[in-house]
Chain A
Amino acid sequence: FTTLLYTIKFEEAMLKALAVLVLVAIASSKQRTLVILENVMTKETHSSFLADLAGKGQDVVYKYATDSSLTIKKYGESLYDNIVILAPSVTAFGNSVSASDFLEFVDDGGNIVFTASSDIGDPVKEIATEVGIEIDEEGTSVIDHMNYDASDAGHHELIVADNFIDCPIITGADVEPVLFKGVGMAADSENELIIDILKASPTAYSHAVDQDIIEYPLAIGSSLLLVAGMQARNNARIVVFGSHDMLSDRFYNAQIKAQAAEGAPKAAGNKAFVSNVLSWALKLNGDLRFSNVVHNKVGEAPSDQAYRITDEVEYSIIIEEMRNGNWEAFKGSDVQLEFVRIDPFVRAFLKPETDGAFKVEFKIPDVYGVYQFKVDYNRVGYTHLYSTTQVSVRPFHHTEYERFIPTAYPYYASSFSMIAGLFLFCFVFLYHQDTAKTQKTE
């Protein structure tokens, strides 16, 4: 009896330990986010933004930019999943953390959101440059003589921007014009990973206020970026806000009215826009993942044997999408499967089924070789979904060809008649007696 009691207790203890482990696992699944603040003031000027960030299920750690205990990586592993840098004008980070540390963080898969302003510091500028976004020189700002806000001080730098990218996953569905005051950016034209989240209006340009324009500005019109994003090949996301003030409480609560527009001032769209972009950057939206890639002959269980040419095969893959922090079945209708041997031999739409499973059946081409089932789904706003599975396609075995084909019947007939003929001939040749000869001898 005591032993039974003991075992029950032991089991209880085990269960408790397990529960604790699960809790720890859940806790650690919460994203760890480092927020780097420029100074004490930032926490107050940007309190709404920071509250929003904390509300996104993040485990937030605050550090000042010059903090000597600032560390991103320890024992070769990143300490955080995301970094938000609200320190545009810092000239050097504490603990000699440099731009290259942040880039390494990106290469390890971490996401970075940071702000810039006209008073731009070198480290922030360098991070942007290394991801293909060039921030204009210190002291410059985006100027728009047509779309400035009514409350502008006269330099036309406080502008109303509404040239958003057409991508609800990043910006949210209904996006209102936002108030912007800051520095302009230009994208590296050869870098195909950059996403123009918010572009300036065609009448804007980037230049130092109160200075004569002698040289051509960094960028003008809609090639001038106000908010730029970048999704690296490892799907790490980076967002640069050209305006530090754009995230501030003051702008969040501002009423805006573009000079040219008519009607009463409206509430600025900053809060919703920034919140959505932040969700995207932290991969709470638009993140895709796949699992359970299965391929097999129609009606058979999956095996590691090579396929044969002209086999009917079916392929299925489960694709899930992160929506507001939860994994849900992906519902895209434009996902394609390619069956590739250097060139795609088959390209077919994957049909979504329940539970995020996507399926397609097709016939393997009549060409043998080493193929790949390839799903290469690359859409703006979503992570780059890329799955390849290599399979071999062999020709027929010698026993798999059709045994009797109608066109060959004449040949069968000829061989069998030949056999019969030879047999008859032998028979006649052996047993035939030449009667004429026998008569003569008689």
Chain B
Amino acid sequence: MAKSVLDVIGISSLSQAKKETLIQMTVLSIACILAFAARLFSVLRFESVIHEFDPYFNYRTTKHLVEHGYYDFHNWFDDRAWYPLGRIIGGTIYPGLMVTASTIFNSLNFLNITINIRNVCVFLAPLFSSFTVIVVYLLTKEVKNAGAGLVAAAMIAIVPGYISRSVAGSYDNEGIAIFCMLLTYFLWIKASKTGSISWSCMCALAYFYMVSSWGGYVFLINLIPIHVFVLMVTGRFSHRIYVAYCITYSLGTILSMQIPFVGFAPVETSEHMAALGVFGLCQIVAFVQYLQANMSPGAFNVLYKGVMTIGLVAAGLSFGIALFLGKIAPWTGRFYSLLDPSYAKNNIPIIASVSEHQPTTWASFYFDLQLLVFMFPVGLYYCFRELTDANIFVIVYSVTSIYFAGVMVRLMLVLAPIMCIMSGIGISTTLSTYMKNLDTEQGVMQTQKNKKKAADYPIKSEIASVMVMIVGVFLATFVFHCTWVTSEAYSSPSIVLAAKGAGGDRIIFDDFREAYNWLKFNTPEDAKVMSWWDYGYQLTAMANRTILVDNNTWNNTHISRVGQAMASPEEHSYTIMKELDVDYVLVIFGGISGYSSDDINKFLWMIRIGGSTPEGAHISESDYYSQSGEYRVDKDASSAMLNSLMYKMCYYRFGEIMTEQGKPGGWDRVRNQEVGNKDFELDVLEEAFTSEHWIVRIYKVKDMDNRGNN
């Protein structure tokens, strides 16, 4: 029956090569469609909305770009954020994402396909995930073969580690950056394999695209030099590598410096020095090779030793002087925290406060990668078995990225593709080893030689079928796991929350949008809203109001000032708020809904960040703990805690509310404590708005008393 179907469409009459191509194309397109479709859970469940925090900023800037054109976008000075400092948008962002989205938007509209810019933004990440699938296929094919490529492509389509940052609505840099990164790697491998100038130029262009879209390009610009360096050390350095690297590096660096945010960093900061150093080393090695080919061994040795000594000393000296003079910028905090996980925690609270900068737990490795964790070493083994230049690249990539992923949760994203590639190689090679041994019709018709080999060990066919079955089961569980994780963990827009009610029905908390809309329609257009920085991007994008601090945490002092206002008692806060012209204060409170990432749980960070500058010297973290050194909100809490502005704003009128049966009024469902300060009035603020489930509470800052009474 099946055969006849094939006959009907005329496939069986095709040649072997054509059949292979057809199968490859089919598998690849299905993987692409799957990659797109698997990321649509949130759109189907909720609606086509932008997720989380940063995407709102990207969405807002994209809208600006579409409406006002590139030059206006480039020169955009945003006076709605970081009041009263303002922020230069053009010079402080990676514009790749916005330019990509607006290009798609404009070209679609040029073709008279009218689509809303929001929808372009929402579906951009899934679209680029489909592209990533193709690139992973090409990359793996270059490293191993088409079979491994297909397996890797199918895996990258659904691996949770990547889905987590690329679901529909997650309109963030990472959404396209992973595609750019893998494209650059693919073109780099092509270039290093062929040593062709055109591939190298293409690689530099891809690198430029990568630089324009994500700060993670630093990983890339260190990885390629490391690859070249490893090749040098292992004696595999050749003219191909020389041409590929020199062109990629010089072109890529010049191009990357065109991004205003990057500027002169590639020639000044320490992060980029490895690339520059390897570039220099390439010239030296090439020159030495040239000399070696044209000189007698004795003379060469003398020259080599002399030049090496002088060169090393000179290089060391000049580096030291440059560092001393401050010509080479000191390593930035985020980079330090890559190398030393405890660095940020001890030194920069603002970096440590971001949950995605925390070290990765073992559980999240399994959660995000599942089967890949086990298949990765297999792939690594096969790569080591037959070393090539390309293989060395993926080995270097996997080893470094596994380290970085362990340091920071968000870098799991960089690890996921190489895990897929390695596992693809591992699974594909395993399967093709055992598939051959399966006792099929073709097996009977094996050649004499194979038959001899087959006699090497007994029940060969049975072992093979068991192996194939095990791999099959693994792959099936992988698929189920990925679908489950995507659906449960990574498809929540976090702007709309969902919870299971008592009867198992879904309860939707749409408090954020309710509150932002309230602000939009009920406050003066130039009102200044103070909130913790997490909500800054959403506030500007959705409520269109001026805010003090936002998710672009570039000014620690300003954030610290807001932290001080939140952590101080009312009178002190009032002076800070007046100084900053605050009209409204917004807090997120989960005590009724049970929403745990609310401001009280983030409050410790406000205290730490608030106390980290000279103006906040009066704020000491230990004052906010109870006698026994715990972080509490009930009667045991310290008076500093109970009288802080944040506490009062969150728990104002909360004592009147019965949240759970059998519990006293003012029972906080997140902390599971009865609040310690129930009956109090606010002196300097008045409640302006509280959302349906009390998640967002907005307060208006009172004017000074008309008759001068305090």
Residues of A within 8 A of B (CB): 103, 106-107, 130-132, 188, 190-194, 230, 232-234, 236, 306, 341-342, 368-371, 390, 392-395, 397-398
Interface-central residue, B75, B86, B710, by most chain A CB under 10 Å: B86
Contacts of A236 in B (CB 8 A): 706
Which of the candidate stretches B76-84, B244-252, B275-283, B443-451 sits at the interface with the other chain?
A: B76-84
Contacts of A193 in B (CB 8 A): 707-708
**Is B704 among interface residues, defined by CB-CB distance under 8 A?**
yes
Contacts known (A306-B79, A370-B83); A230 close to B707, Cβ less than 8 A = yes
Contacts of A394 in B (CB 8 A): 75, 77, 79, 86
Q: Once the chains are docked, how many angstroms separate the CA of A342 from the CA of B85?
A: 9
B90 to chain A: closest residue by CB: A398
**Is B16 among interface residues, defined by CB-CB distance under 8 A?**
no
Q: Once the chains are docked, how many angstroms separate the CA of A69 from the CA of B72?
A: 66
Task: Return B299 CB to nearest CB of chain A, in Å.
Answer: 24
Contact yes or no, A370 B708, CB < 8 A: no
Contacts of B579 in A (CB 8 A): 342
Contact yes or no, A233 B79, CB < 8 A: no
Contact yes or no, A369 B705, CB < 8 A: no
How many chain B residues touch A (Cβ–Cβ < 8 Å)? Answer: 22
Q: Once the chains are docked, how many angstroms separate the CA of A159 from the CA of B678?
A: 54
Interface-central residue, A188, A190, A193, by most chain B CB under 10 Å: A193
Bitwise interface map of B from 696 to 710 toward A, beta carbon under 8 Å scored 1, else 0: 000000011111111
Which listed residue (A132, A342, A390, A393) contacts B708, Cβ 8 A? A132
Q: Once the chains are docked, how many angstroms separate the CA of A106 from the CA of B705?
A: 12
**Is B526 among interface residues, defined by CB-CB distance under 8 A?**
yes
**Is B220 among interface residues, defined by CB-CB distance under 8 A?**
no
Contact yes or no, B88 A368, CB < 8 A: yes
Q: Once the chains are docked, how many angstroms separate the CA of A342 from the CA of B83?
A: 10
Contact yes or no, B84 A233, CB < 8 A: no
Q: Once the chains are docked, how many angstroms separate the CA of A407 from the CA of B696?
A: 55
Contact yes or no, A397 B707, CB < 8 A: no
Contacts of A192 in B (CB 8 A): 708
Contacts known (A392-B77, A392-B79); A191 close to B84, Cβ less than 8 A = no
Q: Which 3 A-B pairs have the closest CB atoms?
A: A394-B77, A193-B708, A392-B79
Q: Once the chains are docked, how many angstroms separate the CA of A394 from the CA of B707?
A: 39
Q: Once the chains are docked, how many angstroms separate the CA of A264 from the CA of B579?
A: 58
Besides A233-B707, A233-B708, A370-B79, 17 more A-B contacts (Cβ < 8 Å) are: A131-B707, A192-B708, A193-B707, A194-B708, A233-B703, A233-B704, A234-B706, A236-B706, A306-B79, A342-B84, A369-B85, A369-B86, A392-B86, A394-B77, A394-B86, A395-B77, A398-B71
**Is B580 among interface residues, defined by CB-CB distance under 8 A?**
yes
Task: Return B478 CB to nearest CB of chain A, in Å.
Answer: 49
Task: Return B264 CB to nearest CB of chain A, in Å.
Answer: 13
Contacts known (A342-B579, A394-B77, A398-B75); A132 close to B709, Cβ less than 8 A = yes
Task: Return B456 CB to nearest CB of chain A, in Å.
Answer: 60
Contacts known (A341-B84, A395-B88); A232 close to B707, Cβ less than 8 A = yes
**Is B513 among interface residues, defined by CB-CB distance under 8 A?**
no
Contact yes or no, A103 B84, CB < 8 A: no
Contacts of A233 in B (CB 8 A): 703-708
Contact yes or no, B704 A369, CB < 8 A: no
**Is B74 among interface residues, defined by CB-CB distance under 8 A?**
yes
Which listed residue (A131, A306, A369) contacts B84, Cβ 8 A? A369
Contacts of A130 in B (CB 8 A): 707, 709
B 377-415 contacts with A by CB, 8 A: none
21 A–B contacts, CB within 8 A, in A order: A106-B706, A130-B709, A191-B707, A193-B707, A194-B708, A232-B708, A233-B707, A342-B579, A368-B86, A369-B79, A369-B85, A369-B86, A370-B85, A370-B546, A390-B526, A393-B86, A394-B75, A394-B77, A395-B88, A397-B75, A398-B74
